Amino acid sequence: MIDSLLIKMEQELQLRNYSPRTIRTYIGAVRAYLLHKGDEVQIPDIDHIKEYLLQKLRSHSSSRTVNVSLHAIQYFYADVLHVECKVGLKYAKTAQALPVVLSRAEIGALVCGVENVKHRTMISLAYGSGLRIGEVTSLRVRDIDIDQLVIHLRHAKGDKDRITIIPESLCDVLRAFCIGKTPDEFVFVSERGGGLCERSLQNVFARALLHAKILKHATFHSLRHSFATHLLENGTDIRYVQELLGHSNIRTTQRYTQVTNPALKHIKSPL
């Protein structure tokens, strides 16, 4: 019963051109709720939904996770089953944490500590071009124009195309990875063929952090944060940084100014 409903939801999401990541997230959130509800899953129970979300908050789920669950549940009932489901809850406030940024020295130590050439290149490219982890693993030969030093990212987050830069220092190694491949082939291929999975690359990054003795709570996405921050520190206009990152709203890019403000960094403590 639940599986057939989730298949119907997945098809609806695909028809609406949601990204594979969003589809997985929504399906997972709704599956968890339906299993928790147990019976009469096709009939929305507003009080039960509120209690379920409250339980998630009490179990220390993040406000972002709770918001995703609320949105997914409402989507399931309203857009898949076409049943009215007005929960009457405002979305929880999400924490406005500053992005975790690695210094140039930390980036250097991180990259140097990765012996595998493919993994080292993927990490370097994520930092040097401001790529998300999925953009690195799904990069194809046709997306790279080494002579023009640009990458054409197709159907990136939000189903938007964008252009970003290639570091000159990576040109030779990228050429080597592209030699002998057709335009549609992945630049970085796993040992089994096909693209490298994101989880594997996350594990590589985590090991590199340990090897470099970096104690910050950094993730692979911190490479993209560092790309943006270092460009702003170099004096790159924020509008160009916005375009390279593919942000629709300049306010998303402006958060990096909070960690790059040179005036703040030069203030000396009175102690």
Query: Quick one: residue 268, left, alpha or beta (phi over 0 = left, psi -120 to 50 = alpha)?
Result: beta
Mean pLDDT of the chain: 89
Quick one: CA dihedral 94, 95, 98, 99, positive or negative? negative
Mean pLDDT of 65-85: 90
175 belongs to the catalytic site? no
Q: Name the catalytic one among 37, 48, 221, 255.
A: 221
Residues 6 or more apart whose CB falls under 8 angstroms from that of 160 comprise 246, 248
221 belongs to the catalytic site? yes
**What tokens does 79 get?**
């857009």
36 belongs to the catalytic site? no
Question: Is domain 2-80 classified as CATH 1.20.120.430?
Answer: no
224 belongs to the catalytic site? yes
Among 3.30.565.10, 3.40.50.2300, 1.10.3720.10, 1.10.443.10, what is the CATH number of 104-263?
A: 1.10.443.10
pLDDT one-digit tens code per residue, 76-111: 998 999 988 877 776 666 666 788 999 999 999 999
Q: Name the catalytic one among 31, 157, 211, 255.
A: 157
Contact 184, 139 (CB under 8 A): no
What is the C-alpha separation between 12 and 241, in angstroms, rounded? 35
pLDDT one-digit tens code per residue, 257-271: 877 766 666 677 787
132 belongs to the catalytic site? yes
pTM beyond 0.85: the answer is no
Domain limits, the chain: 2-80, 104-263
What's the confidence (pLDDT) of residue 263? Answer: 63
Fold match, 2-80 / 104-263: no
Measure the CA dihedral 252/253/254/257, to 10°: 140
